[in-house]
Amino acid sequence: MYSKIALGNVKKSVKDYTIYFLTLTLAVCIFYSFNSIESQKSVIEASSGKDDFNILTTVISFISVFVSLIVGGLILYASNFLIRKRKKEFGIYMTLGMSKRKISKILVLETFSVGALSLISGLILGVVLSQGLSIVTAKLFLVDMSKYKFIISTSAIGKTILYFGIIFMIIMIFNTAVMSKYKIIDLLTAGRKNENVKIKNPFIYVLTFILCVISLGFSYYLVLKVGLKIKDSLFHIAIVLGVLGTLLFFFSLAGFGLYITKKSKKVYFKGLNIFILKQINSKVNTNFLSMSVICLMLFLTMGMLSTGVGFKTTVESLIKAATPFDATAKAYSGKDGKVDSIEKTLKSIDFKFDKSEKYVEYSEYIINENINEVLKLDDKQKKELSKLRDWNPRVIKISEYNDLRKLQNKPSIKLKDDEVLITANSDDTVEVINKFLSNNKSVYIKGTNYKVKNHKLITDATRTTGELKDNILTLVVNDDFIKDLKLNAKYLNVNFTEENKEESEKKFLKLLEDFRDVYINDSKIDYMIVNTKKQEYVESRASTILVLFVVIYLGIVFLIASMAALAIQQLSEASNSIDRYKSLKRIGANDKMINKTIFVQTLIYFTLPVGLAFIHSIVCIKVINDYISMFAKPNIGVGSLIVVLAFILVYMGYFCATYTGYKNIVKNS
């Protein structure tokens, strides 16, 4: 009998709360998909050959705990709404003599069946979706697609069932606890009790709204000024002010909006506007806390997704510029200030170059003048460079420079006795040097003016490194010039041929390992760093994939959770307002008018948190943009576009579902 009631209720709930059910299914599906990546381990590791994939799966399993907390919170919230909606029903059961324990039993059964149902459908959907996700993963890791198989991850299924099982367990306990607290009279009169619409003095709202604008404005100002300095106390203040401003916004907005619209009789007295305003007012007033949380969550989502996607494209373009050669070995100057030829060092450890491997070695010297003296900076430029102005530029011989160009199949450059080339690619100096080049024709070194041959700054890197854009300022000079200069480092650039690429790669990776693991502490051999192009790509790919996955995983969950929370709030509002719509209908409002009020209400209710989150994230993206541009030209545009599109899709989906659901609830009453 109890299970019959419970199942009947589930059927009813599934129909009433399609959104609740769909969100659960979606959450399960996403949870499974991301956790099932692990099952592709063998395939991906075989071709990737590194433990990057392990890091990815570890991070994902960590985040899954966090995700399950969010989803758990959402379900708790939703089920609380469901119970509140059915207080009267439980009251009737109790007057009929059913004990609280038995009602709890019904509730437990219900939670169990809804949970089981959404788990099953979510897992089925997840198995389908995870195939797509796995293909994307494989593509990102550059895995041969032919090795790819359709995989159902039993461990991920087990994990999903375990995590969601725990969530549903907690919900059951929570529901039982809530049930036992209720008194029968409260249950029976639940429907009749009016929501107390506390209307405070409108000036309180006006005041808090002004406060909110001030704190948000100040927060934006601070964060734009300070930038992304996580340790800076001003940055912390900006965040606190931002959160506070968001809270105040939702606290005051409804009252403030009401105050403003009341002033305009034309708006206030038009159609059902009075009703719409009051509906939103009461809703936002009672839910301002959850709306603030939703807004902040949406803000995190937008910020994370757009910068995450932007991060990937940015890093990719950076890596390309930073790896002009297939491999580079770098030797620092030894204790005595001398650096041995890398070629010689390699020979001494029995490293032999293959015929196919073309290499060029060059030396980098350091001059005694600093940038300030060389470029004769004015005060403004000095300020722009700040500490860097005391840095000593590096120097390369033209003959070696031309050898490097030859290796890259570029034409060589001829320098006259009094000419130099200026190269740089660091974001800290490029701008200043460009300005310098547009106004000046000469640099001052060793007490003499040298003509600058290039009119445009040369930004090409002269070696493959793990550091991006590390050329602060390097001059290319005539060979005689370096006579009495201090040697800073030696570099050996290698290019492989297509046929022997893999072998050479392995050879140089081994060399890298040798130097990394065993410090060759021979007095004649200096410490050496080896970087290969492929290894840089793999490394950066691993980190960008990690960032992408984390960001997309969290982003989707946040987005769905906040949209679902909004939708559930709206729908519960719908069932609470049925009487109001009946009254409206009785005093002559037609269906068109009523549908319009529902539309406007849902639209405003959905737009408020999204709108504020959007403004927040514009500021946030600007700050992050500024931060990234210290290392690279940020490329957030495309990323943002994709995010915005995905966002609109989910938003529209939930909006339409809510609007139709709301309309149906009102219509069926």
Partner 1 sequence: MKNILNVEKIEKYYGNKENITKAIDNISFRVEKGEFVGIMGASGSGKTTLLNCISTIDTISTGKIIINGQDITQLKSKSLDKFRQNELGFIFQDFNLLDTLTAYENIALALTIQERNPKEIDGLIKSVAETLDISSVLNKYPYEMSGGQKQRVACCRAIVTNPSLILADEPTGALDSKSSRLLLESFEKFNKELEATILMVTHDVFTASYAHRILFIKDGKIFTELVRGNDSRKDFFNRIIEVITLLGGDDNDVF
Question: Which residues here bind partner 1, judged by CB under 8 A?
Answer: 194-197, 199, 265-266, 268-275, 278-279, 281-282, 580, 582-584, 586-591, 593
Among the listed residues 524, 530, 482, the one whose alpha carbon sits nearest the alpha carbon of residue 507: 530
b/e map 200-239, b = 16+ CB within 10 Å: eeeeebeebbebbeebbeebbebbeebeeeeeeeebeebe
The least distance separating partner 1 from the CB of residue 103, rounded to whole angstroms, comes to 28
Q: For partner 1, give the closer residue by CB, 199 or 228.
A: 199
CA geometry: angle 237, 239, 240, nearest 5 deg: 65
- Backbone phi and psi for residue 487, each to the nearest 5 degrees, phi listed first: -80, 130
The least distance separating partner 1 from the CB of residue 589, rounded to whole angstroms, comes to 5
Distance CA(70)–CA(554), nearest Å, equals 10
Distance CA(84)–CA(72), nearest Å, equals 18
The least distance separating partner 1 from the CB of residue 595, rounded to whole angstroms, comes to 13
What are the strands of the beta sheet with 442-445, ordered from one edge? 442-445, 448-452, 419-423, 474-477, 394-397, 358-366, 486-495, 327-332, 528-532
Q: For partner 1, give the closer residue by CB, 449 or 583.
A: 583
Q: For partner 1, give the closer residue by CB, 235 or 275.
A: 275
The least distance separating partner 1 from the CB of residue 279, rounded to whole angstroms, comes to 6
The least distance separating partner 1 from the CB of residue 591, rounded to whole angstroms, comes to 8
Q: Going by DSSP bridges, is the β-strand pair 394-397/474-477 parallel, antiparallel, or unpaired?
A: parallel
Q: For partner 1, give the closer residue by CB, 188 or 199.
A: 199
Q: For partner 1, give the closer residue by CB, 411 or 588.
A: 588
CA dihedral of 297, 302, 303, 306, whole degrees rounded to 10: 150
Q: For partner 1, give the closer residue by CB, 189 or 440.
A: 189
Q: For partner 1, give the closer residue by CB, 279 or 544.
A: 279
Q: Going by DSSP bridges, is the β-strand pair 448-452/419-423 parallel, antiparallel, or unpaired?
A: parallel
The least distance separating partner 1 from the CB of residue 288, rounded to whole angstroms, comes to 16
The least distance separating partner 1 from the CB of residue 78, rounded to whole angstroms, comes to 24
The least distance separating partner 1 from the CB of residue 268, rounded to whole angstroms, comes to 7
The least distance separating partner 1 from the CB of residue 270, rounded to whole angstroms, comes to 6
Burial (0-12, 13-18, 19+ Cβ within 10 Å), 420: buried
Q: For partner 1, give the closer residue by CB, 435 or 580.
A: 580
Q: For partner 1, give the closer residue by CB, 196 or 439.
A: 196
Q: For partner 1, give the closer residue by CB, 262 or 382.
A: 262
Distance CA(529)–CA(118), nearest Å, equals 54
In terms of DSSP H, where are the helices of 36-99? 41-48, 52-85, 87-95
Structure tokens at 460: 């090409």
Distance CA(170)–CA(163), nearest Å, equals 11
Q: For partner 1, give the closer residue by CB, 270 or 446.
A: 270
For residue 208, the surrounding DSSP H or E stretch is: helix 202-226
- Residues 6 or more apart whose CB falls under 8 angstroms from that of 335 comprise none
The secondary structure of residue 78, as a DSSP letter, is: H
- Residues 6 or more apart whose CB falls under 8 angstroms from that of 559 comprise 298, 301, 647, 650
